[in-house]
Structure 1
Amino acid sequence: MLFGDRERLLGLYNAISGKNYQDPEELEINTLENAIYMGMKNNLSFLIDDRLSLYEHQSTVNPNMPLRFLFYISDLYFCEQRAKRACLHDHLATAARVKDLGMTTEENFYGRKALSIPIPCFVIFYNGAEPQPDRKILRLSDLYTVRMKETQLELTAVLLNINRNHNRELMEACRDLKDYAEYVDRVRKYARELPLSEAVERAITECIREGILKEFLEKNRAEVKKMSIYEYDQEKHIRMERQDAWEDGVQEGIKEGELRGRNAQLVEQIKKKLDRGKSISRIAEELEETENRIQELIREYGLDK
């Protein structure tokens, strides 16, 4: 939402790439309309100076991002003319416009002439609660079931931690990003002691008063509040699901451990009774188990050898 504005997006791109573009009109936003992969929507894709950048904002770390980016970039590179698969943000995009952006169409994809395509760049902006380094590389090859020194298909994505006090150099180069990190940090801090709606309202009011995203928050206050509440609730829900899954795993581990302990004790008793020459039926009776159960344990633990 914040970086949907061309001028702000250009400032963010300059900070990441080290470039110094001044004209926002040079930047072509070509986000795929309604493109959702694995339940999450791509935030932004845009083209400038034959460089195709795909930016994704996340509050949870997703190791599958390289694969999602692969699907997404494939659709961007291969854009059909049919309206149902229009690839540009503008629904009225034409084949000529697609060509202007350096993409391909159904007509020229199978031609003999080598195509020219823009070089891609994949960036994930992370601001979740789980600790992460300032910078982290995610690779498509990490998802392969077979690991090799060299792979014929690789895609790397850069994860940047944009929480407060992370990536300081980047934050100083992009004031909007720094202010956004400050705003998110305040929402989280106040949400620990206030109802979420009040926490968001307090963060917005303070930021406006202190000149943090002042113009943006004043102009979009209601929408920002609504989105902040939704995103925080979603982030909290994901954390709770993970915690529940972890606790379930611990409980399952305890149950499995108890079962293994009982089995080990039972097997030891069976072994001693077998050594004394007792029959299966007699052992089952003494241990209050079925004969089938005793025979099963004897086979499983090799007591019949």
Structure 2
Amino acid sequence: MRFINRKYKDSVFTDLFGSDRDGKKNFLDLYNALSGSDYKLEDVTMERKVIEQSLYKTYNNDVSWMIDGRLVVLVEHQSTVNNNMPFRCLEYVTRIYETIVPIDRRYAQKVYKIPNPDFYVVYVGKDSMPCEQELRLSDAFYEKDSSRLDLVVKVKNCTDPKLLPIAKNCAILEEYCRFIEIVESTYSRRFPRSSFKKAIEKAVSEGILSDYLSRKTREVTNMLCAKYDYKMDIAVKQEEAFEDGMEKGLKKGIAQNAVENAKNALALNLPVEQVSQITGLPIEEVLRLQTESHGR
């Protein structure tokens, strides 16, 4: 059973390794490179798994396939990897299992077998990252113990020279990483759509994802626009939050300063009305401060 939420937009990664006509082959090639396995497309049974709950709010950056009874979840990152990814993957895989296990079988005495999961984060960003690392759900628990509940996400830095064989063993990943570099280098905040078209033209001319980009020029342009709109929205919200915090802090500082000035003026026995005029505090507030000072 497939649940698709059309409000979410696919990223190029999700489309290339999932929805596209060659998505199945591309995904299998990438999984082989990441896991060291040697699955052949003609020898395996594969089924795409799509659910409503994306790991991101605005666009899908994840893709999942069942490969011979194994559930593989790949998530792409172009910025710093989120350390809460194990918990988010737990939510994600639970939703997938809900589509696999029939409701009536969940209460049966006989065990209903479910596929073994594999979780990977494919990092293709520019930040300094370890060559490989594992993120564990158990690291988020209050107490470090041998908990029986755990989920491991393997993070692969596919732009690290030490992991270059991963890209070399997966031509589609190598081309995808190169395409992302071209997009980043040609991106124009003022003219985003035209810069994306320019990036696509450059990639095709260099033989990078040429078949895919030639077939889906408009779709890829729209996907890139959606992604960069999301990134811009996050950046603007962060900037607004910072400015709001600065403004609140400034107002708080001014208010505290006015109170201290009022206390000093009252200590000099200045009239309440005059203290109010000097500090800008309401007369009621000055009277309250005066009462407090007399009570000490």
> What CA distance in whole angstroms lies between the structure 2 residues aligned with 1:303 and 1:36?
61
Query: Deviation per CA, 1:157-204, whole angstroms, max 9, x where unpaired?
Result: 344455687953433332222221221221222124872233222222
Alignment correspondent of 2:180: 184
In the alignment, which of 247, 255, 269 is matched to residue 243 of structure 2? 247
**1:261 partner letter:** N
Alignment correspondent of 1:48: 67
> What CA distance in whole angstroms lies between the structure 2 residues aligned with 1:223 and 1:284?
70
In the TM superposition, what are the counterparts of 1:29-44 in structure 2 within 5 Å?
A: 29-36=47-54, 39-40=57-58, 41=60, 43-44=62-63
Alignment correspondent of 1:287: 275
Alignment correspondent of 2:253: 257
> What CA distance in whole angstroms lies between the structure 2 residues aligned with 1:197 and 1:166?
34
SS at match of 2:49: coil
SS at match of 2:105: coil
Unaligned stretches of 5+ in structure 1? 80-102
Alignment correspondent of 2:29: 11
Alignment correspondent of 2:93: 73
In the alignment, which of 91, 104, 108 is matched to residue 105 of structure 2? 108
In the TM superposition, what are the counterparts of 1:38-187 in structure 2 within 5 Å?
A: 39-40=57-58, 41=60, 43-58=62-77, 64-79=84-99, 103-126=100-123, 131=127, 133-134=129-130, 137-140=134-137, 147-150=142-145, 151=147, 153-161=149-157, 168-187=164-183
> What CA distance in whole angstroms lies between the structure 1 residues aligned with 2:124 and 2:242?
22
Unaligned stretches of 5+ in structure 2? 1-14
SS at match of 2:106: coil
Question: Aligned-pair RMSD on alpha carbons?
Answer: 3.5
Is contact 2:262-2:286 (8 Å) kept? no
> What CA distance in whole angstroms lies between the structure 2 residues aligned with 1:105 and 1:198?
48
Alignment correspondent of 1:89: none
110 and 242 in structure 1: CA distance in 2 versus 1, 3 angstrom threshold: same
> What CA distance in whole angstroms lies between the structure 2 residues aligned with 1:30 and 1:235?
27
TM-score, structure 2 as length reference: 0.74
TM-score, structure 1 as length reference: 0.72
> What CA distance in whole angstroms lies between the structure 2 residues aligned with 1:171 and 1:117?
31
> What CA distance in whole angstroms lies between the structure 2 residues aligned with 1:154 and 1:297?
56
SS at match of 1:109: helix
149 and 64 in structure 1: CA distance in 2 versus 1, 3 angstrom threshold: closer
Is contact 1:31-1:43 (8 Å) kept? no
166 and 232 in structure 1: CA distance in 2 versus 1, 3 angstrom threshold: farther
SS at match of 2:231: helix
**1:53 partner letter:** V
195 and 167 in structure 1: CA distance in 2 versus 1, 3 angstrom threshold: farther
Is contact 1:123-1:160 (8 Å) kept? yes
SS at match of 2:71: strand
> What CA distance in whole angstroms lies between the structure 2 residues aligned with 1:303 and 1:25?
89
Is contact 1:132-1:161 (8 Å) kept? no
> What CA distance in whole angstroms lies between the structure 2 residues aligned with 1:195 and 1:166?
36
Report how far residue 244 of structure 1 moved. Answer: 2.5
In the alignment, which of 41, 47, 50 is matched to residue 23 of structure 1? 41
In the TM superposition, what are the counterparts of 1:291-302 in structure 2 within 5 Å?
A: 292-294=284-286, 296-297=288-289
Report how far residue 38 of structure 1 moved. Answer: 6.5
Q: Name the structure, 1 or 2, with higher relative contact order (CA <8 Å, separation 6+).
A: 2
SS at match of 1:108: helix
Report how far residue 10 of structure 1 moved. Answer: 0.6
Corresponding pairs, count: 270
> What CA distance in whole angstroms lies between the structure 2 residues aligned with 1:160 and 1:297?
61
SS at match of 1:148: coil
Alignment correspondent of 1:97: none
